Structure 1
Amino acid sequence: MAERTTSPLPRLRYWFDNVMARGTPALLGWVLSLCLLIVVPVSAGLVWADPHTPTTRAGQLAAIWRWVGRTLRLGGAVGTPAYVLLTVLLALVTLLFVSTLVSLITNGLNEKVMALRLGRSTVLEEGHTVLLGWSEQVFPIVSELVAANANRRGGVVAILSPKDKVGMEDELHTKVGRTGTTRVICRNGSVTDPAVLARVSPRTADAVLVLTPGGEGDDALVVKTLLALDAAAVGGDRTVVVAAVRDSRHQLAASLAAGPGGRVLDIDEITARLIVQTSRQPGLSLVYQELLDFAGDEFYAVSEPALTGRSFGEALLSYATSSVVGLVAADGTVRVNPAPATVIRAGDRLVVITRDDDTAVRAPAPAHVDEAAITVPGDRIPPPDRLLLLGWNRRAPTVIEQLDQYVGPGSRLDIVASGDEPIVHAATRHLRVSFRSGDTTEPRTLSDLDVPSYDRVIVLGSDRPGAEDPAASDVRTLVTLLHLRALEESTGRELSLVTEMSDDRNRLLAPVREGTDFIVSGRLISLLMAQISQNRHLADLFDTLFTAEGSEIYLKPAAGYVRPGALVSYATVVESARRQHHCAIGYRLHAQSATGPSYGVRINPDKRERVRLGALDRVIVLAEQ
């Protein structure tokens, strides 16, 4: 038999719960009874304690009634029974009216506060940046926009997504932290409803960024969001609309939905191109990281009327702390690394790499050039390459196609992936492609390949259906890198390695040496979208940089520009590059290639700076292949 509790507290709580369960009438009765049990005795005590209390019983009762009436707001009038009853009735009506009024005001304020907390009010801003949707992209984009607005006040970022407003604010506070002078406003609602889009005022925004959600059907949601923007009459010359799709097959539909002023990035195509370029130019991912984030030097378009009528080659040495890399014509056409003899016309703007949009200031005079240190590179025919591709995903055919455009005849590509992967690729002209079935997470698979004998190794991330968590999709990549690191240590040979990952957080876990190239598609696209949102002309510039045609970023041997070991001004490197129709934008020191945070990469150095480049160092240039 259960033991009965002797404590009165549980029984009192149980009795209280039963009273509450009986509803409002019972609760009102108990509240009134409790109130009278306290007010009447206390009122009687006040009357008897008063030295001027009436001496008659009737007078004392009347005094007690007055105290009770004043306390309960019942008036406390004394007179005939009818008079007292009417005053009590009037007081009750007044009390009911005041209580109702207070209740209505309180409920209205609570509804307004709840509406604000739910994020359903309208943002009345102009010149702000709008983010539509919610994914891991939001954190690097907001961080970059905060950095871009660091030197000006009044920057606003408005985010609309179906996610709870408070939840969005908590995640941003955790992963982004302080936003400085930039205000981040979150609103809740469907991004595919034109009426709901008005909550973030996209018509008055400078830029609208459509984020790529995770999971199945994410490209379809991007297209629907762009159509909703078009229905909401957003766009034109004022607002920059930037979006991204994961599958190349959906880019055309998204571009049509975005309209002529919108820019839709192809995540697969850009990622594949950068993987290929980085595999050819070790350290290139570090260069792009420096150029695409707003923390260091980045691309800007600036007007310089004083250079009108001058040649582009003259402009290269006209700035001491900025690197000139191209021209934006009056009609918006972007030319990257034009011929040095190209004349700068009225209305043209210079594309420069500089610290900020107000730091591109012409130098009083060109920096000194050490003519004796300039070298002339000899003709060099690159030997055939032996390349190893570990893993397979939907971007792999594009990687193979792009590799075929860069390598010389007789090059070979060996592919190792599990047998259940759909290995399909187009015919190649220069590459001899072979496939081998195997699990790259098995040590025996890699040890049988003689991995150190390959010129370059590419590790592709997994994108198998059902892998919803980007962090989980990188597990196989991390295990593969672990075995590759063991091979490096056992053979004593460093691998030229480029790795694709889905989640930037996993890059810190990768068991590789410092300064190794990583391509994280989500972060890369986020940085590109943030850059284009600040300057729409950069979209054409990035299109040029990420294709095999036209000029690209290369890390070329320093000996091809200046004498190894000579102490020269950086202007000498720029002038030597100009004579080869290249635009020098920096250098990488081999001795510091494993030392963070820059890993030897120096972008946009001062042209007056003295530098000593050795035979293993590289000059970073924009040049045609």
Structure 2
Amino acid sequence: VVAGALASGLAPTPKARVANAGTSSFSSSRHAQREMVGSNLTYLAQRVFGWPLYGKVFIIMCAMVPLVLVAAAAYKFVSEEEWGSAIAKTFFWLNDVPGADSTGEEHWRSTVVAQLIVFCGMFTFAILIGVVSDEIASKVDEVKTGNSKVYEKNHTVIVNWNDQLIPLLKQMAVAKDEGSGFQRPIVLLANKEKEWMDETIADELADVPPITIVTRQGEAYNAEDLDRVNAWSAERVVVLHPDIDEDEKHDKDALERVESNKATAVLNLRSEVNGLQSRAPDIIVQMPFRLAEEDNSVSLAVALTNKSDRKLGDLAYVNGTSELSKLKAFSIMQPGGIRLFEDLMLQTNDSSEFYTYSHKTLAGKSFKDAWRMFSNGTMVGLMGEDGKLILGPRDDDVVNSKGEVLVIADNLACIVRDIEKKKGIVPERSIPEKGSQHMVMNQCPIKLPHSKKIVMLGWNEESEQCIDDILAL
């Protein structure tokens, strides 16, 4: 095997010489034969090394048989040992069997042969170790860069890749660190090279709390790829708007194709592939801009699957550009508003975030009473009995029987400290007066008291929507 692998490199190079026509023809024929033999041996070695591990080990063991016999014959010739003894000693020396001593020979000729046999044994053992090590390394690489199925349950699946993915993963890492979710692995499915995704995520998330992220290469609209990430057993699936080229952003056909692919992904996720899943996962779909009903392929997919008898998960839309446009407009018209949005949206150790929280002591309380129970956070919403979230509720709105509320706080520990540890008992000096928050809300001007002059610098596809939102305010 080794000779075949090295044949092309060890074949002698013919020296240039002057010869007559007959000698030249004979020399060329012999040279061609040597090249053919070398090429055949090289090809045979490549075939052998392409076999599975057990096949390569079997070939090495077979090659050991003639090697042992030839070495035993040489040792028998110089030592006059019997065949059985010569073969046994040779086998022990070649394989470095413990207890086999090659330095105890009495004659110098048998000592030289014994050392040569040990030297050959070093090479055969090195070849065996190299084959096994290479097989182990290739299996490790296959696991790291492979695209095998993920056998997780109740995990989070994210499909597609865009600029919002890394910030989303950072928010998930912060939420996991604070104990507010994402304790199961995050599985990412995108049409990118797996090795590139792993390196990018490792670099971008180096300074955030640890979180387990598994990547797989594939398309979100392909049912086989969705099955590879076990999407139907996930707790939630986030469908991101995939990255597209700059030219395609203004191509209506390209945009329709992207939306159709997202709709196909939603249709697959809300369809029953087999009878093992009792409930479809919750689905969050990112929409870069609001679409008319007739152009919204995802809504059509939802309407088709709503007729299913299967228990479906919740579905929510995140409208990126249009919602950001409203935040821009509000920040322009309300000086200081941008500070509020920065604190809520930038995930840092010192920033505040929205937290959904539930506790039995909050159940049945009116908003004006429940709000006063928080000294380290601000309650800004509650869940009604119909399951709908009410933001900026009235004083007499009542928290549902599960005690579900929405709170802005630095971290989840602040909320726990307010409710669970203090049992709702807050020092009087820290309690706002009843109804004071709603009173402040009522005093916020709906319309500006005077006209405002605004200079807009630059123009892009979001500018027109931003102007409309400014005029609406």
Match of 1:83 in 2: none
Is it true that 1:208 corresponds to 2:226 in the alignment?
A: no
The answer for the alignment partner of 2:301 in structure 1 is: 257
Native 8 Å contact 2:260 2:297 kept in 1: no
Cα displacement (A) at 1:132: 0.8
What do residues 25-59 of structure 1 show as CA deviations (whole Å, max 9, x unaligned)? 8877xx99x9999978865775577xxx33xxxx6
C-alpha distance 19-60 of structure 1, shift in aligned 2 (>3 A): farther
Measure how far apart 1:339 and its partner are: 1.9
Q: CA deviation at 1:258?
A: 4.7
Choose the corresponding residue for 1:288, options 327, 337, 341. Answer: 341
Residue of structure 2 equivalent to 1:224: 264
Counterpart CA distance in 1 for 2:381 and 2:432 is 25
Q: Per the alignment, do residues 15 and 209 of structure 1 end up closer, same or farther by CA in structure 2, a change over 3 Å counting? A: farther
Q: Following superposition of structure 1 onto structure 2, how do residues 59-458 of structure 1 map, counting pairs within 5 Å?
A: 116-152=143-179, 154-177=183-206, 180-215=209-244, 216=248, 217=254, 218-231=258-271, 239-249=281-291, 252-258=296-302, 261-293=314-346, 295=348, 296-344=351-399, 346-357=401-412, 359-360=414-415, 361-362=418-419, 363-368=424-429, 382-406=449-473
Higher relative contact order (CA 8 A, sep 6+): 1
Aligned to 1:24: 41
1:301–1:328 Cα contact (<8 Å) kept: no
Separation in 1, partners of 2:338, 2:136: 53
**AA partner of residue 222 (structure 1):** K
Matches within 5 A, 1:583-598: none
Assess if the C-alpha contact under 8 Å between 2:157 and 2:229 holds in 1. yes
Deviation string 1:185-209 (CA, Å, 9 cap, x unpaired) is 1112222111221111222222111
Do the aligned partners of 2:384 and 2:398 also contact (CA within 8 Å) in 1? no
Separation in 2, partners of 1:178, 1:378: 39
**In structure 1, what residue type is equivalent to 2:157?**
V
Q: Secondary structure at the match of 1:323?
A: strand
Mark the CA change 1:365 to 1:111 in structure 2 (over 3 Å): closer, same or farther: closer
Q: Distance in 1 between matches of 2:279 and 2:88?
A: 76
**Mapped partners of 1:231, 1:183: distance in 2:** 28
Query: What is the CA distance between 1:129 and its match in structure 2?
Result: 0.9
Q: Give, in whole Å, the separation in 1 of the partners of 2:432 and 2:403.
A: 31
* Within-5 A mapping of 1:572-587: none
Take 1:124 and 1:333, find their aligned partners in 2: how far apart are those partners? 34
Which amino acid in 2 is paired with 1:313? Answer: K
| Gap regions ≥5 residues in structure 2 | 1-7, 15-33, 46-58, 96-128, 249-253, 307-313
1:125 & 1:131 partners in 2: Cα distance?
A: 14
The offset of 1:117, in angstroms, is: 3.9
Shift of 1:276: 0.7
Instruction: Report the alpha carbon displacement of residue 307 of structure 1 after superposing the two structures with TM.
Output: 4.2
Which whole-Å CA distance do the structure 2 matches of 1:240 and 1:273 have between them? 26
**1:572 alignment counterpart:** none
The percentage of aligned residue pairs carrying the same residue is 20
| Distance of 2:146 and 2:83 partners within structure 1 | 57
Cα–Cα, structure 1 residues 381 and 191, in superposed 2: closer, same or farther, change >3 Å?
closer
Aligned amino acid, residue 230 of structure 2 = S
Q: State TM-score, norm by structure 2.
A: 0.61
Shift of 1:239: 2.7
Would the alpha carbon gap of residues 364 and 201 (structure 1) be closer, same or farther in structure 2, given more than 3 Å must change?
same
**Mapped contact 1:189–1:196 kept (Cα < 8 A):** yes
User: Cα distance 1:397–1:158, how it changes in 2: closer, same or farther (>3 A)?
Assistant: same
Q: Contact 1:219–1:247 (CA<8 Å) still a contact in 2?
A: no
1:284 Cα offset (Å): 2.8
Higher fraction of helix: 2
Q: 1:258 to 1:294 in 2, by over 3 A?
A: farther
* C-alpha contact (below 8 Å) 1:43/1:68 kept by paired residues: yes
Change (3 A) 1:179 1:301: closer
- Counterparts of 1:378 and 1:265, CA distance in 2: 27
Whole-Å separation in 2 of the counterparts to 1:345 and 1:147: 28
CA contact (8 A) 1:323 1:352 kept: yes
The CA distance in 1 between the partners of 2:44 and 2:396, in whole Å, is 91
More strand by share: 1
Report the Cα offset of residue 237 of structure 1: 6.6
* Alignment TM-score, normalising by the size of structure 1: 0.48
Q: Deviations over 1:56-99 (max 9, x none)?
A: xxx678876776688899xxxxxxxxxxxxxxxxxxxxxxxxxx
Amino acid at match of 2:282: V
- The 8 Å contact of residues 132 and 211 in structure 1, kept in 2 or not, is answered as yes
| 1:110, distance to aligned residue in structure 2 (A) | 8.4
Q: Is the 8 A contact 1:115 1:121 kept in 2?
A: no
